[in-house]
Structure 1
Amino acid sequence: MTVARSLLFNIAFFTWTTVCCFGLLWMLLLPRRQMVHVVEWYLRTVYFLERAILGLDYEVRGLENVPRNGSYILAAKHQSAWETMKLHLLIDDPAIILKRELLFLPIWGWYAAKARMIAVDRSARGRAIASMVEGAARVKSEGRPIVIFPQGTRTAIGRYLPYRVGVGVLYKELDLPIVPMALNSGVYWGRRSFRKRSGKILVEFLPPIEPGLGRDAALAELETRLEAATDRLVVEAGGPPTQKPAKQVPQGAPAAMP
């Protein structure tokens, strides 16, 4: 049943998405905010397909921790494509930090550029962080939330990837709170997986990390809290907790006492 549902959903999803990509090109002529409303409509139709075909729903916890006004940094776990299609339904008018190359994709890149996402050229190593801060400062002036995936890429459940320094730099340079967003989407919608399970994905917004900490301290606090909350949600859905690598002991150092 899971395979049959997944096959039917993938056919419906890619067919419908293709129709919308071409059929909604006219909305690129609209003002940016109106175009975003049309994108939100499309995302709600995908959510309908998820419920109707896959039997997949979601529940949001901790909405009281999301600021109602002004800009903030949303540091979100990234386990699958599912959450990228829900961010505009979870928070208002987010600007997502993404690779600059994505803007060159036909059609999809046009929509992303029109929505004014924050594009970072990772090939320009010396400028990547600076361009990210510049783009995020623009978004801050617009009062929009800034979305960053602190591990930089999709991470399968149970796997550990280190947190990158970018979120800490934004925290210090922009003087904004970080709202951690934990989830367990990877249990139901695996990274690059054809199979998708029925059930209920859990999304949880954690209390903000307010401005005032040092960059490294804020990054460590984010990782500690976000990893713990994500493991809790993953285990609640029957998935494996994250297996963190053991710390390496330098050669010649005394072994830790039990």
Structure 2
Amino acid sequence: MVVQAIRSLLFYVLYVGQTVMLAIIVGTDAIIRGRTGFGWAVAKYWGNSNLFFLRWVVGIRTDAQGTENIPDGPCILAAKHMSDWDIFAILPHTRRPAFIAKKELMDIPFFGWAARSFDTIRIDRSLGGDAIPMMMADARAALDRGCRIIIFPEGTRKAPLIPHDYRYGIVRMYEALNVPVVPVALNSGLYWGRHSLILWPGTARARFLPPILPGLSAEEFHRELTTRIEDETNRLILAAYDGGLSRPIPTDLREKLESLRDGHPPPTAETTTS
């Protein structure tokens, strides 16, 4: 564990250090020139270099499959979110990405300026009911520019096998934008935990699933998206567990994994609070 802790520390130094440096460079360029090809080139370097660091510094390999399910035209990629790896793994397959991000992140000097140059769509929750119309306007503009929209429907990182909670922002986008939605399942939280400072070796996997086409009702879409992502995420997690994990497994997580193996997936957030 000591060796892996040192490897993890080295990764964080490289990751945070270059992220700050590149944010200053791209943020400054964005102030001067606005959206340019330079910003996107740096974003691709940033994502690929962090995957390189993860592979060779801490031992996390990357496997992304199902990219043939991404339509050629405008679409939304709706992904499970467990760690920053999810961003790096999805980024190479987005052509021109427009991530949904909280306004608070966009207000950070240099980082926020750089994010705007990458077509990032902000959501300002302080606006209450006005937040969604503003987000939709930005999303339509991003699609018109040829972007693929990337959203994490649960709104935050989730640890493996905790109750899921898919918010209705993605449903409103599906209804308003009338483009296919590609569900993305993954298991990265087994290797890069939400609150863990230590990263563990293994193969983090992402699966781009067949798109959900426009035309479903709100409830049908919400149910279909949730079921597809959660079922495939659970399958990826269980396959990794059965293949052997090179990390300590806390008792509560092991119990959840054994329960999943017995055919009992984790409940929804609504179930646990009812």
**TM-score, length-scaled by structure 2:** 0.84
Deviation, 1:115, is 1.5
Deviation, 1:12, is 2.5
The SS at the match of 2:112 is helix
In structure 2, the partner of 1:131 is 134
- Output the amino acid matched with 1:52: W
* CA displacement, residues 156-204 of structure 1 (integer Å, 9 cap, x when unaligned): 1111132111111111111111100000010011113211011111110
Are 2:28 and 2:110, in contact at CA under 8 Å, matched by a contact in 1?
A: no
Give the counterpart of 1:121 among 118, 124, 128. Answer: 124
Query: Identity over the aligned pairs, expressed in percent?
Result: 35
* CA displacement, residues 76-102 of structure 1 (integer Å, 9 cap, x when unaligned): 000112212333223211101111121
- Output the amino acid matched with 2:39: M
Are 2:23 and 2:114, in contact at CA under 8 Å, matched by a contact in 1?
A: no
Any gaps of 5 or more consecutive residues in structure 1?
251-258
Q: Partners of 1:35 and 1:153 in 2: how far apart?
A: 25
In structure 2, the partner of 1:21 is 23
* CA displacement, residues 119-151 of structure 1 (integer Å, 9 cap, x when unaligned): 011011111111121111111212211111111
In structure 1, the partner of 2:180 is 177
In structure 1, the partner of 2:266 is 243
Q: Which moved more, 1:47-56 or 1:79-88?
A: 79-88
Change (3 A) 1:141 1:22: closer
In structure 2, the partner of 1:66 is 70
What pairs with 1:169-208 in structure 2 (closer than 5 Å)?
169-208=172-211
In structure 2, the partner of 1:254 is none
Moved over 6 A (4+): none
**TM-score, length-scaled by structure 1:** 0.89
Equivalent pairs counted in the alignment come to: 249
What pairs with 1:39-58 in structure 2 (closer than 5 Å)?
39-58=43-62
Any gaps of 5 or more consecutive residues in structure 2?
242-252
The SS at the match of 1:58 is strand
Are 2:100 and 2:122, in contact at CA under 8 Å, matched by a contact in 1?
A: yes
What pairs with 1:96-111 in structure 2 (closer than 5 Å)?
96-111=99-114
Superposed CA RMSD: 2.1
Are 2:27 and 2:113, in contact at CA under 8 Å, matched by a contact in 1?
A: no
Q: Partners of 2:140 and 2:216 in 1: how far apart?
A: 19
Q: Partners of 1:103 and 1:154 in 2: how far apart?
A: 18
What pairs with 1:1-20 in structure 2 (closer than 5 Å)?
1-20=3-22
Change (3 A) 1:209 1:216: same
Q: Which moved more, 1:185-194 or 1:26-35?
A: 26-35
The SS at the match of 1:229 is helix
Change (3 A) 1:234 1:22: same
- Output the amino acid matched with 1:118: I
Higher helix share: 2
1:37 aligns with 2:41: yes
Are 1:81 and 1:191, in contact at CA under 8 Å, matched by a contact in 2?
A: no
Deviation, 1:23, is 4.9
